[in-house]
Amino acid sequence: MQTAEIKRRFLKFFEERNHTVVPSASLVSDDPTVMFTIAGMVPFIPYMTGVVPAPYPRATSVQKCIRTNDIEEVGRTPRHGTFFQMCGNFSFGDYFKREAIEFAWTFLTSAQDEGGLGFNPKDLWVTVYRHDDEAYRFWREIANIPEERIQRLGEDTNYWSAGKPGGPAGPDSEIFFDRGPEYGIDGGPATDDDRYVEIWNLVFMQYERGVDNGDGTFEILGELPKKNIDTGMGLERIAFLLQGVENMYETDQVRPVLDLAASLSGKKYGDKDDDDVRMRVIADHVRSALMLISDGVQPGNEGRGYILRRLLRRVVRNMRLLGVETATFPQLFPASMRAMKDAYPEVERDFDRIARTAYAEEEAFLRTLAQGTTIFEEAVSGAKGSGLAQLSGDIAFKLHDTYGFPIDLTMEMAEEAGLRVNRDKFNELMTEQRERAKADAKSRRSALADLSIYSDFRAKGETQFIGYEDLRAESEVLGIIVEGSSVPVARSGQVAEIILAETTLYAESGGQDADQGWLIAPSGGFEARVDDVQKPVAGLIAHTVTVTEGEIAVGERVESVVDEVYRRQASEAHTATHLIHAALRDALGPDAHQSGSYNKAGYMRLDFSWNQPLSKETRIELEEISNAAVRADYEVITKEMSLDDAKALGARALFGEKYGSVVRMVEIGGPWSRELCGGTHVSGTSEVGLVNLIGESSVGSQNRRVEALVGRNAFADFATERAIVRELSSGLKVPREQVTERVEDLLASLKRAEKKIADLEAAALLGRVPELLAGAEQVGSINFVGGSLGTVGSADDIRHVVLDIRERLGSEASVVAIGGESNGKPIIVIATNEASRDLGVKAGALVKLAAGVLGGGGGGKPDVAQGGGQDAAKLPEAVTAVRRELQSV
């Protein structure tokens, strides 16, 4: 059975059971704390936690997912893939354990000619949480699984939690397929052997969890008011089992790339274990990269971009280990696209863009590999010349960090040269790098400029930033990059990166946005607007410019000119960031430490560790403390000193930043605020002018964010608010101190009036019930009432009328189908009574039929369902379609 057919059957099975089919969300997660969609339930988390009311009681989806935490296992086990598709069915306070178990078992074991997957029940095992007697009983009753094939396991495998106090938690039950004795030892899933493949996980969210107990467990506060179901069936795992292949890499959506890698390398899949692993890695990573680029991810050095770049480079590395050193993406990516386009047509539609991104990244990496190989060979020669048997970890890290060499490639090359690699030192440096990484850092560098270009310029020395003292200065043009290539000249109309020996323009770093300004030829004839200033590699500053006049060549002199107004306002904002940080520590204590920041002219934001919203009083206090420091006109002093000396003075370092042995400390009011910072600042706090706190929000479970306007922007905002208050005071004819009270009174009056109107409208609609009942007709075996209410306020208005009519029709088999129009859109609500449902009539099926006529969709329970569409003029036709459907009952 093809993968696409399994997906189709899954969605059809649950749609027939009143689940709303929800399309896959993007691989790029909306959650700012998560880079990717890592599980099928991620898009539904707001509904499961109750933060957002669920728009439907039941849902089903096949969700695209990316996980790279087990990347080293890819190709080595039958089931680990970085990209996978998770089939899920979800209940939001509707059905629970019994139904979830029955659905899963029915779909898995029903015959294929009946729409199921046709698994033999004798091949399936089940695990339940050790204390979940209810799930155990349901499995025995529903599936009649022998007791010996139901295993009770502990919290580490069969208990799920949202991960924080107040969130949902509950036991889960997993279904495993036994591949047979030729694949491993007997004993069931408890053995954790690859013989038993987990194919479905049913999570029963029934409790509210409390705080951690300190031993990996947590307190249970009680049952949730609404119990939820979250299940996940691995599509790739089901596919490889049903297709009779050995692993997910040999399924129809992945195997074509594996076979092509074998063909390009001249090797045969199945001949050699190491080569087989490499081919499987290539097939997996090409598909993952295809899907990531399709969803808008671009290769980069941070965050999602780094994950994508790593996948692409691992493909290149494994092709090289198979003996192929030329570009292969132009063959591999089209093969993956052809395998995936039936399930995801967008990969074919957007393939030109996907291909350009992938091919350019491969070309850039092949160049850096060539340059890195030269560095490697020099290091090997030096080590052997010194009689060493080991390549230093520093060299291995440089090859990884600057030239993109994966450590295992360096280790294999070193082994071929008869050397070992100091892996411990390499791991130490990698850990330091990960700690320096910023989750919200931007990647604005030229998409196609590989690091070797920057490395060539960096070899000429560091770019000196002299903008603390000077706002304009001459320097030599060391290099020019246009569209990813080093060029000798930048001409009018071009966007270019220009690298100077010295610059007065501040490069974005430490949370401070880049300076604005110009590059100008001292003798005239050339001018460029500076759009961005970045540090593409350590010690190098690159100016992204738009050339507005003339041309400039490498080796010529150019003057960097800072926009003084922008710099002054940016400096005010950066100093205000330090004031807010100090104020947070004053108000909340030392645990409220900075985790990130961003500031530009007139604006600042600061992220800090804290696990709950700030009260109104605390926000006022922060603003008061900060502005008290402004009024105090503390002197702002910058000092360079050793890192140890700065720490001894209590200077605060930002987690994730890299500091050298000599650091720059910014001191405000002596010990009141001491921070390590390379940004620009005012000389006294009174120059900040004013700090106006405008926002406070969450940026993760343990982090908050405050935002403020600074200086002139803060004054302008207050002036706007003052003008608004003045107008309200005049219009309401009350003193300004009474404006709030007067507005509250008016809102209360408006609310009462709206309620009165709603009550009158509802009464008027219910008054039409006798008229609608008078039109009742016998359709087949059903007493049918159909019609339209015309324009209504909402679907609830129609629902009230429908339920009232159903109640008045009594116990005779009846169906009510009433439509209406709200905000220009048609709505139809259908209700059945018990007698009609006994005849097989379901409201959900009928409403889908009616909504289809209206050009939309709908769903609901068998007793009541609701749908909508686009064309309100077709409401009579929709009701007629329902009437026609009932004639056969």
| pLDDT score of 636 | 96
Q: What percent of the chain has pLDDT over 70?
A: 94
Model confidence band, residue 389 (pLDDT cutoffs 50, 70, 90): confident
Q: What's the token pair of residue 558?
A: 């150019």
Task: Read off the pLDDT of each residue in 408-423 and give the average, rounded to a whole number.
Answer: 82
Check whether 19 is labelled as a binding-site residue. Answer: no
> Which residues of the chain form CATH 2.40.30.130?
451-562
**Is the predicted pLDDT of residue 882 greater than 90, yes or no?**
yes
**Is the predicted pLDDT of residue 439 greater than 50, yes or no?**
no
Please answer whether residues 419 and 389 qualify as being in contact, where contact means their C-beta atoms are separated by less than 8 angstroms.
yes
Q: What's the CATH class of domain 567-717?
A: alpha beta
pLDDT tens string 743-753? 999 999 999 99
The stretches of 244-345 forming alpha helices (DSSP H) are 255-265, 273-294, 303-321, 329-340
Model confidence band, residue 477 (pLDDT cutoffs 50, 70, 90): very high
> Which residues of the chain form CATH 3.30.980.10?
567-717
Q: What's the token pair of residue 185?
A: 């030892």
Pairing of strands 673-676, 691-698: unpaired
What is 179-193 written as a DSSP string?
Answer: --GGGS-SS-GGG--
**Is the predicted pLDDT of residue 659 greater than 60, yes or no?**
no
CATH for the 767-886 domain, from 3.10.310.40, 2.40.10.170, 3.50.50.60, 3.40.1280.10: 3.10.310.40
Q: What's the token pair of residue 833?
A: 């009574």
Instruction: State the angle between helix axes of 407-416 and 423-436 in degrees (0 to 180), rounded to the nearest 10.
Output: 160
**Is the predicted pLDDT of residue 689 greater than 90, yes or no?**
yes
Please answer whether residues 879 and 819 qualify as being in contact, where contact means their C-beta atoms are separated by less than 8 angstroms.
yes
Q: Please tell me the CATH superfamily of domain 3-250, with its number.
A: Bira Bifunctional Protein; Domain 2 (3.30.930.10)
pLDDT tens string 222-254? 888 889 999 999 999 999 999 999 889 999 999
pLDDT tens string 756-807? 888 888 788 888 899 899 899 999 999 999 999 988 888 888 999 999 999 9
Task: Read off the pLDDT of each residue in 425-429 and give the average, rounded to a whole number.
Answer: 86
| 398, containing H or E segment | helix 393-403
Question: What secondary structure letter does DSSP report for 652?
Answer: B
Give the least confident one: 150-154, 298-302, 871-875: 298-302
Q: What's the token pair of residue 343?
A: 């399930």
> Which residues of the chain form CATH 3.30.930.10?
3-250
Average pLDDT, the chain: 88
Q: What's the token pair of residue 862?
A: 């068998």
**Is the predicted pLDDT of residue 108 greater than 90, yes or no?**
yes
Give the least confident one: 169-183, 306-320, 549-563, 706-720: 306-320
Model confidence band, residue 513 (pLDDT cutoffs 50, 70, 90): very high
> Which residues of the chain form CATH 3.10.310.40?
767-886
Model confidence band, residue 606 (pLDDT cutoffs 50, 70, 90): very high
pLDDT tens string 816-845? 999 999 988 999 999 999 999 999 999 999
Highest mean pLDDT pick, 299-313, 324-338, 637-651, 700-714 = 324-338
Give the least confident one: 66-75, 200-209, 436-445, 869-878: 436-445
| pLDDT score of 446 | 29
Give the least confident one: 352-366, 476-490, 656-670: 656-670
Give the CA-trace dihedral at 344, 347, 349, 350, to 10 degrees: 140
Check whether 581 is labelled as a binding-site residue. Answer: no
**Is the predicted pLDDT of residue 443 greater than 60, yes or no?**
no
Q: Which residue has the tokens 């890698």?
A: 261
pLDDT tens string 349-364? 889 889 988 998 899 8
Q: Where is pLDDT greater, at 488 or 610?
A: 488
Task: Read off the pLDDT of each residue in 525-541 and give the average, rounded to a whole number.
Answer: 89
Q: Where is pLDDT greater, at 33 or 336?
A: 336
**Is the predicted pLDDT of residue 444 greater than 60, yes or no?**
no
Residue 536's SS3 state is coil
Distance separating alpha carbons of residues 267 and 259, to the nearest angstrom = 10
| pLDDT score of 658 | 47
| pLDDT score of 164 | 67
What is 807-826 written as a DSSP string?
Answer: HHTTTS-EEEEEEEEETTEE
Model confidence band, residue 433 (pLDDT cutoffs 50, 70, 90): low
Distance separating alpha carbons of residues 286 and 215, to the nearest angstrom = 41
Nearest to 467 by CA among 264, 775, 681: 681
Model confidence band, residue 546 (pLDDT cutoffs 50, 70, 90): very high
**Is the predicted pLDDT of residue 654 greater than 80, yes or no?**
no
Distance separating alpha carbons of residues 452 and 478, to the nearest angstrom = 15
Distance separating alpha carbons of residues 149 and 344, to the nearest angstrom = 38
Nearest to 452 by CA among 364, 390, 380, 375: 364
Distance separating alpha carbons of residues 488 and 110, to the nearest angstrom = 70
Please answer whether residues 636 and 468 qualify as being in contact, where contact means their C-beta atoms are separated by less than 8 angstroms.
no
Backbone angle region of 36, left / alpha / beta, with phi > 0 → left and psi within -120 to 50 → alpha: beta
The CATH architecture of the domain made up of 451-562 is: Beta Barrel (2.40)
| pLDDT score of 396 | 85
Please answer whether residues 105 and 142 qualify as being in contact, where contact means their C-beta atoms are separated by less than 8 angstroms.
yes
Check whether 578 is labelled as a binding-site residue. Answer: yes
Give the least confident one: 161-165, 614-618, 796-800: 161-165
Give the CA-trace dihedral at 332, 337, 338, 342, to 10 degrees: 160
**Is the predicted pLDDT of residue 447 greater than 80, yes or no?**
no
| pLDDT score of 35 | 82
| pLDDT score of 219 | 85
**Is the predicted pLDDT of residue 30 greater than 70, yes or no?**
no
Distance separating alpha carbons of residues 149 and 126, to the nearest angstrom = 6
Instruction: State the angle between helix axes of 351-385 and 329-340 in degrees (0 to 180), rounded to the nearest 10.
Output: 140
Distance separating alpha carbons of residues 836 and 634, to the nearest angstrom = 80
Backbone angle region of 669, left / alpha / beta, with phi > 0 → left and psi within -120 to 50 → alpha: left
Distances from the Cα of 850 to the Cαs of 20, 323, 589, 865, in angstroms? 16, 61, 60, 11
| pLDDT score of 50 | 62
**Is the predicted pLDDT of residue 625 greater than 70, yes or no?**
yes
Model confidence band, residue 371 (pLDDT cutoffs 50, 70, 90): confident
Nearest to 685 by CA among 660, 666, 699, 708: 666
Q: What are the phi and psi torsion angles at 806 (to 5°)?
A: -60, -40
Give the least confident one: 26-30, 465-469, 553-557: 26-30
Task: Read off the pLDDT of each residue in 191-219 and give the average, rounded to a whole number.
Answer: 86
Q: What's the token pair of residue 420?
A: 């070992």
User: What's this model's pTM, rounded to 2 decimal places?
Assistant: 0.50
Check whether 800 is labelled as a binding-site residue. Answer: no
Distance separating alpha carbons of residues 293 and 305, to the nearest angstrom = 10
Q: What's the token pair of residue 110?
A: 């029903």
